[in-house]
């Protein structure tokens, strides 16, 4: 699979696709048109976020940070986060969740 082909942009909401999924990790590609966002939520695993196209703004526990292509951003479990594309360009990012949220949350029970 080529992450730069058939990027899953959607008209109404952000788009995404699973690139890798196993017991140890989940790798997602998120696609945001201008002015789209991933609503505020709590991280259900440890995340590494890498924008591969355009720019995004991430609000983490109330602190806003701008990320450009190629930046690496780390998110801890249970951090409150919001991802926004406030630019006029499409953006796409890779999200590495490790361990896989399903495996991780099962281990905590």
Sorting pLDDT into bands at 50, 70 and 90, what band is 23?
A: confident
Judge contact between 93 and 107, C-beta under 8 A.
no
Mean pLDDT of the residues in the chain = 94
Q: How many domains does the chain have?
A: 1
Task: Look at residue 105 in the predicted model and tell me its pLDDT.
Answer: 57
- Please report whether residue 15 resides in a domain: no
pLDDT tens digits, 71-98: 999 999 999 999 999 999 999 999 999 9
Q: Based on the number of CB atoms within 10 Å of its own CB, is 91 exposed (0-12), middle (13-18) or buried (19 or more)? A: buried
CATH, residue 100 = 2.60.120.10
Q: What is the pLDDT of residues 43-74, one digit of tens each?
A: 999 999 999 999 999 999 999 999 999 999 99
Q: Which domain, by its residues, includes 29?
A: 22-104
Per-residue exposure over 93-103, b if at least 16 CB sit within 10 Å of its own CB, e if not: bbbbbebbbee
Indicate if the alpha-carbon torsion angle 3, 55, 10, 18 is positive or negative: positive
């Amino acid at each position: 699979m080529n992450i730069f082909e058939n990027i899953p942009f959607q008209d109404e909401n952000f788009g995404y696709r699973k690139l890798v999924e196993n017991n140890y990790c989940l790798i997602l590609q998120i696609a945001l048109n201008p002015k789209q966002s991933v609503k505020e939520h709590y991280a259900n695993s440890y995340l590494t976020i890498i924008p591969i196209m355009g720019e995004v703004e991430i609000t983490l526990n109330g602190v806003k940070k701008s990320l450009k292509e190629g930046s690496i951003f780390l998110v801890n479990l249970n951090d409150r986060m919001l991802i926004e594309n406030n630019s006029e360009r499409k953006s796409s990012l890779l999200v590495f969740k490790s361990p896989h949220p399903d495996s991780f949350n099962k281990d905590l029970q």
